Structures are given as structure tokens and as C-alpha cells.
Amino acid sequence: MTAIRYIVCMGVSGSGKSTLGHAIAERMHWPFVEGDDLHPDVNVEKMRHGVPLDDADRRPWLEAVARTVRQWRAQDRSGVISCSALRRAYRDVIADGHEDVLFVYLHCSRERLAQRLADRRGHFMSADLLDSQLATLEAPLSPPERALRLEIERPAQELVRDVVDAVSRSAVD
């Protein structure tokens, strides 16, 4: 099996993608890209006003995420990026047919997600969109997808260790 070189921290808003992504990148000494920063302004405004994105809205954003991974691959660099990647088709765009991408799916209960969103300050994503995101979510299946499901109620250092272990195992498989 191909060694993992790229990690996509995925899940609905409030699941901790950015926090875990930063921690993994720091531990691996890889760059981290905040996927939210790649959204076109029109998407940010829609989400700020509680309007769910559709596939047409998401397309340029997913292409930007995929472009980031392609650039790392072209430069022979590894990296970590956050991206909701809610549907299998979205993950397929990002992986682009390569097996070196690991999707780290951050999971917890709807109630806990709602609480995390209510406690969050300064983010453009409206908490009103949680149910829309959960309805859109197609949890990754491994196999055929290369994915690792993590329960976010566990301590962050354990989650990071699980990801690092998965990457290490992939290098020797």
C-alpha cells in the first residue's frame, strides 16, 4: 500500500478539524493549511447568513483544496489540511485517484457538536447549518476509502498519536 503523505482532517463544523490539523502538522513537522481560508468570499457570506452551500458552491473550494494537495505532491512535500469533505465525491476530488491521502474523520454526537458550535466565537460558520451538514455527511468507508475515524471526546494527544501511528504503519506496509 502507498505511504500516507497527505492528511485531510474532515468532519462537520465544530468537530475540531483545525485544532487537530494544527496539532498533527506540528507533531509531523508538516505544513498545515486551513481549508476555510480557501473558500471564495461568496461562500463565506452564505454560511455567515445561515445559507447552506450546494455542490456548485463547494466546487471551487474543493478544487482549491485539491490544488493544495497537488502542489505538495509536485514539490515532494507532505502536508495537513482541514476540509469538511462531507461527501465521498468531494473526497474523490481531493484524493484525485491517489492512495497517499488519509481522511481523518472527526466524529461525535450531534448534541456535543451543537454545544461546541455554541461555544465558538469569531467563526463565519453559522451554528444553524449543523443539521444541514449532518444531512450531507457521508461518513468515509475504509476500504475503499483511506480513512481513520476518531471520536473527538478522547484527549487530543491520543488522537494525534493515532494519526501518527497510521502514517507510520503506512510507510512499512
H-assigned helices in the chain: 17-28, 41-48, 55-74, 88-95, 110-119, 130-136, 156-172
Positions in the chain whose pLDDT score sits under 70: 120-128, 142, 173
C-alpha to C-alpha distance for 115 and 66, rounded to whole angstroms: 31
Residue 83, φ and ψ in degrees, nearest 5? -165, 135
Options 3.40.50.300, 3.30.1330.50, 3.40.50.800, 3.40.47.10; which CATH number does 6-172 get? Answer: 3.40.50.300
| Residue-wise pLDDT tens digits, 117-131 | 777 665 555 556 778
| Predicted local distance difference test score (pLDDT) of residue 72 | 98
Q: Grid cell 471551487 — which residue?
A: 60
**Residue count of the chain:** 173
3-state secondary structure of 4: coil
Instruction: Quote the pTM value.
Output: 0.89
Q: Are 94 and 69 in contact (CB under 8 A)?
A: yes
| Residue-wise pLDDT tens digits, 64-87 | 999 999 999 999 999 999 999 999
Domain boundaries, the chain: 6-172
